[in-house]
Structure 1
Amino acid sequence: MKETENDKREISDEEPPQPTLSGLRRDLTLLCLNELFVGGEPLRLLKKQGPLFLRYETDGIVSTQHYLSPASWRAKILFDLAEGKNFRVLEMDLPGRFKQMFPNTLLRRLLWHSRPSANFPPVARFYDPDGEAEILLTRSRLCGNAVDALHNLSGAPRFQPLWISDLLALRPMAGIELVRDEQFSTTVPISRYIQAAAVTGRVVKDGELKALSLKGKPAWLPSPPPSRYVAHLLEHVTGKAVPQFEALTCTIDDDYDFR
């Protein structure tokens, strides 16, 4: 994705928002409540084709791990961040792939967009050249460890926060080798893409939007169903038991202005 002069001004004219404790807790809660489904199964329950390689730094200590369970690495990242540790990903999946998919320019733009009541255009498109996967990224969460994405990985369009590690784990674990569309650029706000997805049942491309009659506030896309295992993660985040966590009304849409 090439950085235009407008992109440079957008990034440099204003400081990116700084994370707050309440914001981090909200991000963690949203991520816990939003499972990534691939087809009809949660990623963590799929029969794995291979492990995810991670090299990361926690408070200056570099570690290397191979994870077969998404729940394990999510818990690792979640617990470190919840405890105030400085966590930073160095490598993920194949050597160099993390920076190839998420170069510094893209990470800065995603961070710049992570402000409340926004309706920015998506800043990146990931897709599977050999399949149907389409993913549009709008902003980052959780100190750059997660992103908001409109995608069709579950078969139907979803707009939800996703762990970056889950996206890169799709190659070794599910055989979905995403690539970044380096030519992608749009001025259409994400609300129009969401509305088009609700109307058509798929993630449409930029050129298709002009042919659609899209008026008014975008329809809400259904959220993935919560699962019981996230209760333990939410208890860690909130510091208390949450037996009725299915009834929580915290949604990704509350962070956007879709008027």
Structure 2
Amino acid sequence: MPGSKLSLPLNEQIVLVTGGARGLGAHITRAFQREGARVIVNYFRSAEAAAALAAQAPDRTLAVAADVRDARAVQAMVDRAQQHFGAPVSTVVNNALPEFQFNGDQRPHADALSWENLSQQMEGTLRGALNTVQATLPGMRGAGFGRVINVGTNLFQNPVVPYHDYTAAKAALLSFTRTLSHDLGPDGITVNMVSGGLLRTTDASAATPEAVFELIAGSTPLRRVTTPAEFADALLFFASPWSRSVTGQNLVVDGGLVHN
């Protein structure tokens, strides 16, 4: 598309990180802060954690509460960010995770799985991504540049623990990633996914038994479990100029456990 930009340095980007105040999201926020980007730390209930992250780079970070399942709240957050920074959001990281714990003993098994379990994950994961993309799309199109990076999982390639609800929602998000990449590519907007395995340690994986961490570590070529900071660093690639010709892709970051 005429006028579209192939790339934008990280330190010139305005990055929205959903669920960016704690767990993996906090590592993603810090990774972009480190590279000089302006960051919107979206949070739902973690106001104190969001404020602490914003204080680490107060001139370049804005903490905003919004439920990503609520389209009007997301639009209000994006409008506030544009007013605050004087430019539209250029990059969206869809990281927000509906309430979930990686504990195989407590997961809903096939005979007890309800549609409510599936819907709860779909609402936060897929509807959340739809809302952030639609709210930021006019600004990205106007700028001729945009990056959408969705956080996925390697469980739909290797369901070592069958978390039906979580995995189904992330698989839907991968499909959405690929269809969006076709729709938005002519506007200079790339859409990619970064998929992790079990990370050591996030809020969601804190309930994982030690034996599972040991099993995963022993099965990977690197013989260790990926950290949230390592995952966040890999995610930066899709926002950086080096990925300007990459879209619709799913990068698995799990120490080599799963081959995409």
TM-score class, shorter-chain normalisation, is under 0.3
Please identify which structure carries the higher helix content: 2
TM-score normalised by structure 2 residue count: 0.23
TM-score by length of 1: 0.23
Q: By percentage of residues, which structure has more strand?
A: 1
